Amino acid sequence: MGLELRNISKTFGDFVAVKSLTIHARDNRILGLIGQNGAGKTTTFRMILGLLTPDSGEIVWNEKKASSIHANSIGYLPEERGLYPEMSLEEQLLFFGQLRGKKRKELLPHINRWLERLKLESKRKQKVKTLSKGNQQKLQLISTVLHQPQIVILDEPFSGLDPVNAEALKQIVLELKDMGTTVIFSSHRMEHVEEICDDICMLKEGESILHGDILQVKQQFGTKKIILRSHHTEHELKELPFVDSVKKEMDKMNVFIKNNQDIQKMFNYVTKDGFISTFSAETPSLNEIFKMKVGGLHA
Q: Which domains does the chain have, with CATH numbers?
A: 3-219 (3.40.50.300), 223-282 (3.30.70)
Mean pLDDT of the chain: 91
Global pTM?
0.83
User: What integer is the mean pLDDT of 89-105?
Assistant: 92
| pLDDT reported for residue 59 | 93
Tell me how far CA of residue 221 lies from CA of 33, 42, 213, 215, 269, in angstroms: 19, 28, 13, 10, 23
**In the predicted model, is pLDDT for residue 299 greater than 50?**
no
Residues facing 253 on adjacent strands: 228, 248
8 contacts 16 by C-beta, under 8 angstroms: no
Question: Which residue in 93, 213, 105 sits closest to 141, CA to CA?
Answer: 93
| CB environment 158-194: b (16+ within 10 A), e (fewer) | bbbbeeebbeebbebbeebbeeebbbbbbbbebebbb
| pLDDT reported for residue 80 | 82
| pLDDT reported for residue 297 | 43
| pLDDT reported for residue 219 | 85
277 burial level (CB within 10 Å; 0-12, 13-18, 19+): exposed
User: What integer is the mean pLDDT of 254-275?
Assistant: 91
| pLDDT reported for residue 294 | 83
| pLDDT reported for residue 110 | 94
pLDDT in tens, 142-192: 999 999 999 999 998 988 888 988 998 999 999 999 999 999 999 988 989
**In the predicted model, is pLDDT for residue 118 greater than 70?**
yes
Mutual angle of helices 133-145 and 89-99, in 10-degree steps: 30
| pLDDT reported for residue 298 | 38
pLDDT in tens, 13-25: 999 999 999 999 9
User: What integer is the mean pLDDT of 106-134?
Assistant: 93
pLDDT in tens, 184-243: 999 988 989 999 999 999 999 999 999 999 999 988 887 788 999 999 999 999 999 999
**In the predicted model, is pLDDT for residue 31 greater than 90?**
yes
Lowest mean pLDDT among 66-80, 123-137, 141-155: 66-80
